[in-house]
Amino acid sequence: MIIVTGAAGFIGSNLVKGLNRLGYTDILAVDDLTDGHKFLNLADTNIADYWDKDLLLKRLKDGLGFVPHCVFHQGACSVTTEWNGRYMMENNYHYSKELLHYCHDENVSFIYASSAAVYGNNSVFEENSNSEYPINIYGYSKLLFDNYVRRNFLQKSSVAETSCQIVGLRYFNVYGPGEAHKAKMASVAFHLNQQVQVEGEARLFEGNDGLKDGEQRRDFVHIDDVISVNLWMFENPEVFGIFNVGTGKASSFNEVADSIIDWHGKGVKCYIPFPENLVNSYQSYTQAEIEKLRSVGYKSSFLDVKLGIKKYLDVLNNDIDRRTQKK
């Protein structure tokens, strides 16, 4: 049995599909389906069972009734504009600790989602404390858990005493199929595609932090590459540590918009004022340093933005067309 938390979410559902492609169907999907629309992400997957997150937490204490082969922990509050710190810590820190300790005690591989939000507005994105200074509570919750893992399980002496695999993956800006339910937190590519398709224009932020209009830059990584890294870690249980997951290249929002306009063969870019509520809590630049990931043996290449956007829109817009035709 493999457990995937956040299984109805963007990355979690794609991970379940990736496991299915490898022949794994004995999967326990865990999530909170208060937003029932997310079921669509699981509708075309092959799973053994579904549990609510609260049931999993209860059963961790009372006994699962089985010992899983691996736990992929993708479940979290990923809303970077959420400022309810109590809610964020409960979902992103304490929940993660419960699963971590269970996996350690039962010798179960634990592969979990961290985030590039731990780096804040730094210009260097390396997996060390000198580069880590989050600018929102979401990033802090992820960094706090990373540091808990480091202190208690990834120190040299701890690793020697720990027989289970523990891996943290710091996702940069992930885009691709399965993110529609995320609403405002869906990727820039998703929103710009909708804008160009419906209104014929891609709305980008005006310049901030000394940048020109639309020149905020992020490391945009396609969901297929994120799943590839997760599955590689699963197949290489001797690997321990916290790793960046990005392309290693920053692309501007202008480049993303241009790729979307090219795909549609129509549209223009326009620039809107930078939101006041994002001042001092917005990452205007990210670029993953992936040397550590390469050093443990991950050799697969990453899709660049132009190819990745085309691959995404080929799926996204065909899905939209099918839904429109059904109506």
Q: Just list the catalytic residues.
A: 138, 182
Query: Which residues, in sequence order, are CB contacts of 254 under 8 Å at separation 6+?
Result: 204, 213, 214, 215, 269
Sign of the four-CA dihedral 25, 28, 32, 36: positive
* Percent of residues in the chain assigned helix, strand, coil, to nearest 5: 45, 15, 35
Alpha carbon distance, N-terminus to C-terminus of the chain: 39
Tokens describing residue 209: 């932090």
CA dist 174 and 187 (Å) reads: 7
Q: Taking the CB of residue 153, how many other CB atoms lie within 10 A of it?
A: 19
Query: Which residues, in sequence order, are CB contacts of 158 under 8 Å at separation 6+?
Result: 152
CA dist 99 and 91 (Å) reads: 12
Burial per residue of 165-193, b for 16 or more beta-carbon CB atoms within 10 angstroms, e otherwise: bbbbbbbbbbbbbbbbbeeeebbbbbebb
Tokens describing residue 201: 């224009």
Angular region, 42: left φ>0, alpha ψ -120 to 50, beta rest: alpha
Tokens describing residue 173: 């800006």
Angular region, 27: left φ>0, alpha ψ -120 to 50, beta rest: beta
